[in-house]
């Protein structure tokens, strides 16, 4: 469990203005949840993760990780979390096996060789275990870094852009790996720029730019920002049918887009059958009916834009 | 303790794969051994004409260091060696500085410090590990090269008196 309260980080830089990287962030992530932390470059995501893993001290506010308070039980926090840092940071001259066994020892893992072998195999690097990491591709390093994050079987994982720079296949492998970790009941806090990935993996999403703008499930974010829309594909659209649909209670707006009626409405589950009956009665040929899903990308862009225009106003 | 051992092990595995560091820990001490040996060898060849300590061209303040029965050549060698022994004192300085600076620059350049600091290791353990990793080889190489130097002295015909002086406390 992660409980964040009024977390703030201000970097003081000589001879220039202070950088407010994170301002008054309060948030809680439940046990077993996959939380997606989205935001533009420089939003303060990595800074947040660094504070939550007690790598840097907050300027103000605090957080409880697994019940341990930041700044008071840092040693316990480090023991119980795993962090995938933005850059893998491997010892280039050492072998993959050696890199992991160093960390397994530092995390006081009981069966060092066993754990190292388990995760090297799981991530498909076992056959390259004796090769120096300096010769590894970016994706292999990233996989090795993920293995390193898991050696001590942490309950809470902080993943800073786990799939950045990976080819589609490697990225998909990493994603299904994250899914599996979540099934095992681990709490995952991940920063990502890949919105489809966030949509697919995360139970809840926080859109963040120095401070938290929105936080909710992907489905609720869709509804909150766009309402719900249903598309009726017709053989041909007679303009007078728009009036027919608009009269139905609960319908907010009807648009005719390329022989499709796009209907904004509150509760499609109860109103859709009424719309279909009335359209058929009016003589329309309905080919398909489907819900219009906005991609998380549209939602994200919309949210960020709104927050920026608000900033300009204030 | 286990954390410190892990850090030392890691430092040695990583650092000694670096050519610069290997050069500093092996080649420089080697030069420090060979150079004074060559010097002694040469002085041994042409010093027979000095018969007493007084005739050697040694600063007056240094003369008490040469005991009465010593030949002028021996006294000269002792004087020269006194300067070279300083070089051996530098070995324990040069090696840890090379190792430590590489180890910190290396961690910084490869971004490996962040995951390292995220482990439960304490700052004291980390610093202790890094310092020991740098200091131990320096002490070892320092003694080993001085031992090699002493062992080579009789081979080039340096007199017992001079060897006794060099090996003795200074
Ligand atoms: N050590 C530091 N010293 C000074 N400023 C810093 C430091 N670390 C981060 N910052 C500043 O804090 C802000 C947030 O940076 P951060 O790395 O947290 O962004 P991010 O959300 O992770 O971005 P990205 O998506 O590019 O990874 C930036 O303006 C950055 O310049
Ligand atoms: Mg970042």
In a domain, A302, yes or no: no
Optimal mutation site among A91, A97, A133, A138, interface B, most CBs of chain B within 10 A: A91
Optimal mutation site among A93, A112, A142, interface B, most CBs of chain B within 10 A: A93
Distance from CA of B144 to the nearest CA of A (A): 27
Q: How large is the average pLDDT for residues B84-95?
A: 77
Q: How many domains does chain B have?
A: 1
Proportion of chain A in helix, strand, coil states, percent, rounded to 5 = 40, 30, 30
Domain that holds residue A232: 227-292
Q: How large is the average pLDDT for residues A207-218?
A: 93
Same domain, A30 and A139: yes
Q: How large is the average pLDDT for residues B94-111?
A: 80
CATH of the domain at A13: 3.40.50.300
Same domain, A232 and A207: no
Half-sphere exposure at residue A159, Cβ-oriented, CA atoms within 13 angstroms: 35
- Please say if the pLDDT value at position A286 is more than 80: yes
> Where residue B134 falls among pLDDT bands split at 50, 70, 90?
confident
Low-confidence winner among A63-67, A153-157, B45-49 (lowest mean pLDDT):
B45-49
**Token pair of A50 as six digits:** 């660094």
Q: How large is the average pLDDT for residues B23-47?
A: 77
Question: Which of A53, A91, A103 minimises the CB distance to B14?
Answer: A91
Whether A85 sits inside 8 A of B6 (CB atoms) is no
Instruction: Identify the pLDDT of residue B70.
Output: 64
> From the CB of A45, is ligand 1 less than 6 Å away?
yes
> Where residue B27 falls among pLDDT bands split at 50, 70, 90?
confident
| Segment A70-107, tens digit of pLDDT | 999 999 999 999 999 999 999 998 999 999 999 999 99
Same domain, A250 and A195: no
Q: Which residue is associated with the tokens 């009807």? A: A254
Instruction: Identify the pLDDT of residue B37.
Output: 81
**Token pair of A141 as six digits:** 């390093």
Which residues from chain B sit within 8 angstroms of residue A78, using beta carbons?
Answer: 118-120
Q: How large is the average pLDDT for residues B16-21?
A: 78
Per-residue b or e along A145-173, where b marks 16 or more CB atoms closer than 10 Å to that residue's CB? bbbbbbbbebbbbbbbbbbeebeeebbeb
Whether A94 sits inside 8 A of B13 (CB atoms) is yes
Nearest CA to ligand 1 atom 6: A11
Instruction: Identify the pLDDT of residue B82.
Output: 74
> From the CB of A46, is ligand 1 less than 6 Å away?
yes
Please tell me the pTM assigned to this model: 0.81
SS3 A230: strand
In a domain, A308, yes or no: no
Q: How many domains does chain A have?
A: 2
Closest-approach residue (CA) in chain A for B121: A106
Question: Which of A89, A92, A98 minimises the CB distance to B115?
Answer: A89
In a domain, A314, yes or no: no
Q: What is the average pLDDT score of chain A? A: 92
Q: How large is the average pLDDT for residues A282-311?
A: 85
∠ CA A171-A177-A182, nearest 5°, is 130
In a domain, A304, yes or no: no
In a domain, A297, yes or no: no
Same domain, A27 and A117: yes
Specify which residues A8 forms β-bridges with: A60
- Centre of ligand 1 to C-alpha A124, Å, is 32
Percentage of the residues of chain A whose pLDDT score is greater than 90:
72
Which residue from A9, A19, A25, A86 has its CB within 8 A of the most atoms of ligand 1, so it is best to mutate?
A: A19
Which residues from chain A sit within 8 angstroms of residue B18, using beta carbons?
Answer: 93
Same domain, A136 and A275: no
Whether B118 sits inside 8 A of A78 (CB atoms) is yes
Question: How far is it, in rounded angstroms, from Cα B64 to Cα B74?
Answer: 13
In a domain, A300, yes or no: no
CB A37 within 8 A of CB A194: no
Instruction: Identify the pLDDT of residue A227.
Output: 76
* The last residue of a domain, from among A152, A187, A216: A216
CATH of the domain at A288: 3.30.70.100
């Amino acid at each position: 469990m992660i409980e964040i309260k009024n977390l703030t980080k201000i970097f003081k830089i000589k001879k220039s203005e202070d950088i407010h990287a994170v301002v008054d962030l309060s948030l809680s992530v439940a046990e077993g949840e996959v939380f997606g932390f989205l935001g533009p470059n420089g939003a303060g995501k990595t800074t947040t993760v660094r504070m939550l893993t007690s790598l840097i001290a907050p300027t103000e506010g605090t957080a409880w990780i697994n019940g341990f308070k930041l700044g008071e039980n840092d040693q316990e926090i480090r023991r119980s979390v795993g962090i995938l840092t933005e850059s893998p940071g491997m010892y280039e001259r050492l072998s993959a096996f050696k890199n992991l066994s160093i960390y397994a020892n530092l995390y006081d893992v009981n069966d060092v060789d066993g754990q190292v072998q388990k995760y090297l195999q799981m991530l498909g690097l076992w056959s390259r275990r004796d090769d120096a990491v300096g010769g590894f591709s970016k994706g292999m390093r990233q996989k090795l870094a993920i293995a390193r994050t898991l050696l001590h079987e942490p309950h809470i994982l902080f993943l800073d852009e786990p799939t950045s720079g990976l080819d589609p296949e490697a990225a998909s492998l990493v994603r299904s790996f994250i899914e599996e970790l979540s099934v095992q009941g681990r709490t995952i806090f991940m920063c990502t720029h890949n919105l489809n990935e966030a949509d697919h993996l995360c139970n809840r999403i926080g859109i963040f730019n120095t401070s938290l703008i929105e936080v909710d499930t992907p489905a609720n974010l869709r509804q909150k920002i766009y309402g719900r829309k249903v598309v009726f594909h017709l053989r041909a659209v007679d303009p007078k049918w728009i009036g027919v649909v608009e009269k139905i209670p609960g319908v907010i707006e009807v648009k005719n887009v390329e022989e499709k009626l796009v209907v904004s409405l509150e509760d499609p589950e109860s109103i859709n059958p009424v719309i279909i009956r009335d359209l058929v009665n009016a003589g329309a040929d309905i080919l398909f009916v489907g819900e219009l899903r906005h991609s998380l990308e549209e939602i994200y862009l919309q949210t960020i834009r709104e927050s920026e225009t608000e900033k300009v106003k204030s | 303790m286990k954390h410190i051992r892990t850090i030392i092990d890691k430092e040695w595995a990583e650092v000694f794969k670096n050519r610069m560091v290997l050069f500093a820990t092996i080649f420089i001490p080697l030069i420090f051994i060979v150079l004074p040996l060559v010097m002694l060898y040469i002085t041994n060849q042409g010093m027979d004409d000095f018969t007493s300590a007084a005739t050697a061209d040694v600063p007056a303040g240094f003369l008490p260091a040469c005991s009465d029965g010593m030949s002028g050549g021996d006294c000269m060698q002792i004087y020269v060696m006194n300067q070279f022994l300083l070089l051996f004192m530098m070995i324990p300085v040069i090696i840890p500085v090379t190792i430590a600076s590489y180890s910190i620059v290396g961690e910084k350049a490869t971004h490996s410090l962040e995951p390292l600091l995220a482990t439960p290791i304490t700052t004291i353990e980390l610093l202790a590990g890094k310092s020991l990793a740098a200091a131990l080889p320096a002490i070892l190489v320092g003694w080993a090269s001085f031992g090699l130097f002493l062992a080579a002295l009789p081979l080039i015909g340096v007199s017992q008196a001079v060897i006794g002086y060099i090996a003795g406390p200074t």
